[in-house]
């Protein structure tokens, strides 16, 4: 993405400290969805610290200053697929990425999940 920078929120608060990071995040405004705004300003740092979700801040230069233009959060989500629903070929393919659980007779796989997506207004 030309003209944009993507920065891991964890890198920001490790470099600047939590208070200064929160001050930076206060500039994010999402009138269309206040939940998106609330997540970034009040939950994203904690989710990042607890490895629940990783948040990435997207910045761009505006009037020779870097400003937040958006963000996205990614979390790992686990799911399982019952063995009876799969052909032998698909079972073999799944074993590259999944682990078979004898107890539940299913394949367990971790999937990336976009948990939050927001644009700064």
Mean confidence (pLDDT) of the chain: 91
Planar angle of CA 71, 77, 78, nearest 5 degrees:
170
**What is the model's pTM?**
0.77
d(CA 59, CA 41): 16
Confidence tier at 119 by pLDDT (50, 70, 90): confident
Planar angle of CA 49, 10, 47, nearest 5 degrees:
35
Residue 110 neighbours by CB under 8 Å, 6+ apart: 76, 77, 78
Give the mean pLDDT of 29-48: 94
What pLDDT is recorded for position 75? 92
Confidence tier at 2 by pLDDT (50, 70, 90): low
36 pLDDT exceeds 90? yes
What pLDDT is recorded for position 113? 86
39-58 confidence digits (pLDDT tens): 999 999 999 999 999 999 99
75-94 confidence digits (pLDDT tens): 988 899 998 888 999 888 88
Which string of DSSP letters, residue by residue, matches the chain? -TTEEEEEHHHHHHHH-HHHHHHHHTT---TT-HHHHHIIIIIHHHHHHTTS-EEEEEEEEETTEEEEEEEEEEEEEEEEEEGGGS-HHHHHHHTTT-EEETTTTEEEEEEEEEEEEEE--
Indicate the domain borders of the chain.
Answer: 4-73+113-119, 78-109
- Tell me the Ramachandran region of residue 56: left when phi exceeds 0, alpha when psi lies from -120 to 50, beta otherwise: beta
71 pLDDT exceeds 70? yes
């Amino acid at each position: 993405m030309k003209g944009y920078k993507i920065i891991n929120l964890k890198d920001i608060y490790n470099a600047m400290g939590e208070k200064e990071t929160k001050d930076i995040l206060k500039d994010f405004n999402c009138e269309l969805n206040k939940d998106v705004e609330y997540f970034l300003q009040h939950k994203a740092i904690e989710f990042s610290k607890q490895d629940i979700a990783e948040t990435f801040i997207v910045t761009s230069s505006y009037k020779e200053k870097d400003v937040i233009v958006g963000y996205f959060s990614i979390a790992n989500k686990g799911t399982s697929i019952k063995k009876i629903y799969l052909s032998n070929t698909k079972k073999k393919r799944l074993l590259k990425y999944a682990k078979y659980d004898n107890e539940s007779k299913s394949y367990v796989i971790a999937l990336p999940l976009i948990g939050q997506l927001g644009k700064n207004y």
